[in-house]
Chain A
Amino acid sequence: MSLVRVALGFSLAVLIGIPVGLLMGASRSARKFLSLMVEMARPLSAIALLPLSIIIFKARTFSQLFGLQYLRYQKNLLNEMQLGMIFILFWGGVFPIILGTIQGVRSVRKMHLEAAGILGANRIFTFRHVIIPSALPDIFHGLKLGIGRCWMVIIAAEMLPGTNSGIGYLIRYSYQLSRYDIMLASIVIVAFIGALFSKGLESLGEKSLVLRSKER
């Protein structure tokens, strides 16, 4: 359950974070305009926003969003996807992704941009074939930090009242039942999955990293 939530929240963060980061990296005016907002929003802990997001989104879930809450499945997956929770996951994940992407776009070597221009590439072509590939290592770094954040946020969020599923819930519940064995096992699982996320993204990003670091 936690994994599905993270998948939803994180994908949302990726879908918004990368384009916003690209825009902010490429355009000075977009950067000026948005950076203050980003810098104000970034230090706000996602967990701190959970109560607020519950007020905003009530206890609405994804199934209500799509009008499916009356479907009689035993376990309607979408019924467990509280919008507030997805929102704070998005919040936790999006800023590292935005910052990583900006960093990537800004660190493109000037010579490569000039070479592309002389070789007849227009702005869109340069963006697609020069800026994005050379920004990839930093983007992946942002993704790695982002998913780590998401994972931390979801565990904490699930431990708060109002949830009855997910591994964070399991940790709290087993604690209440004094089943410390289950609690410890859950913590180990959390650690493993977190490491898995990070290693997975790392190996995906590795190819682009190797090419950049070996550059002479």
Chain B
Amino acid sequence: MMALKVTNLSKIYRESTGEVHALGPVSFEMETGEFLCFLGPTGCGKTTLLRTIAGLEKPDTGEVEIQSPPDGGESVIGYVFQQGALFPWMSIFANLEFPLKAKSFVRDTRREKVESMLEMMGLSSFASSFPHQLSGGMQQRAALARSLVMEPDLLLMDEPFSSLDTRTSQELQENLRELLKRASTTVLFVTHNIEEAVYLAGEVIVLGHRPGRIVRRETINLPDQRSRLSDTFTEYLVSLRKTFESLVSH
């Protein structure tokens, strides 16, 4: 089933210094449960793409269609920011409870859902801590948990691990794969890290420099259990790196 359809999406930022053609036009589709990764150099409009899909920016042309869930309700979108989107004045528990409270779930349901999510993310012991007491990795883990607790139909992730060190970032990538195996969430992930893209995604789309356009589409035919050391993994890595280099060099 189609989960997301983006047609001819483009975005121009108008500022006092002139116009910046940030994105597109870009068109693509996503199936339910798919993990699609947008890969591109800094400033290619990746974030703009996500923000437009999330409704945080208005596109200049084109449209975004998000499939409503089969039960007829409104589709739920999750968004994980690069960093610092947790509310600093709330405990981790309260942060996770926020979306459930906003959707007026009753107290007991909220509690149950938050606790099981904390458990799943290995955050149970930090429930009453405040964001600033957590390491960067733990903060992003909590931010991810807050997006997942409302069981989104579509999860948008904007370089969520880019502010972390390599080891922590890889750990979180592994966690994310584990988590997604259990749910059929459709994920649109944006990164400039080639390895991260190959490790996580079912399909990679390479975006070219300003304005962001689709340069290459690549399906990643790797097993669910991925090893960063396997030959095929390295082949994808090298091949994508070549595309990437050619983008940056001219």
Contact = CB atoms under 8 A, between A and B. Distances in A.
A117 B98 CA distance: 11
B136 A120 contact: no
Contacts of B83: 216
Contacts, number: 66
B133 to A, nearest CB: 8
Contacts of B99: 119-121
B89 A111 contact: no
Contact of B102 (A125, A134, A208, A211): A125
Nearest to A119: B99
B88 to A, nearest CB: 4
Nearest to A122: B102
Contact of A121 (B90, B98, B147): B98
Given A115-B79, A216-B136, A133 B87 contact: yes
Contacts of B102: 116, 119-122, 125
B150 interface: yes
A210 to B, nearest CB: 9
B78 A118 contact: yes
B87 A214 contact: no
- Which size class do A's interface residues fall under? 20 to 34
Nearest to A130: B87
Of residues B83, B103, B132, which shows the largest number of chain A Cβ atoms within 10 Å of its Cβ? B132
Where chain A touches its partner, the secondary structure class is: helix
Contacts of B85: 111-112, 114-115
B13 to A, nearest CB: 15
A215 B86 CA distance: 10
A129 interface: yes
A215 B84 contact: yes
Contacts of A120: 76, 99, 102-103, 150
B158 to A, nearest CB: 11
Given A212-B89, A215-B84, A118 B77 contact: yes
Interface in B86-132: 87-90, 98-99, 101-103, 130-132
A208 B88 CA distance: 9
Interface in A90-147: 111-112, 114-122, 125, 129-130, 133-134, 136
B54 A129 contact: no
A178 B85 CA distance: 63
A203 to B, nearest CB: 17
A216 B132 contact: yes
Contacts of A211: 88-89, 130, 132
Nearest to A112: B87
A112 B102 CA distance: 14
Of residues A118, A130, A215, which shows the largest number of chain B Cβ atoms within 10 Å of its Cβ? A118
Nearest to B149: A119
Contacts of A216: 83-84, 131-132, 136, 139
Contacts of A134: 87, 89
B81 interface: yes
Given A118-B78, A118-B79, A120-B103, A208 B89 contact: yes
A214 B130 CA distance: 10
Contacts of B88: 211-212, 214-215
Given A115-B85, A117-B56, A119-B150, 8 more contacts: A112-B85, A114-B79, A116-B98, A129-B87, A129-B101, A134-B87, A214-B88, A215-B84
12 contacts: A114-B85, A115-B85, A118-B56, A118-B79, A119-B99, A129-B98, A133-B90, A208-B89, A211-B88, A211-B132, A215-B84, A216-B136
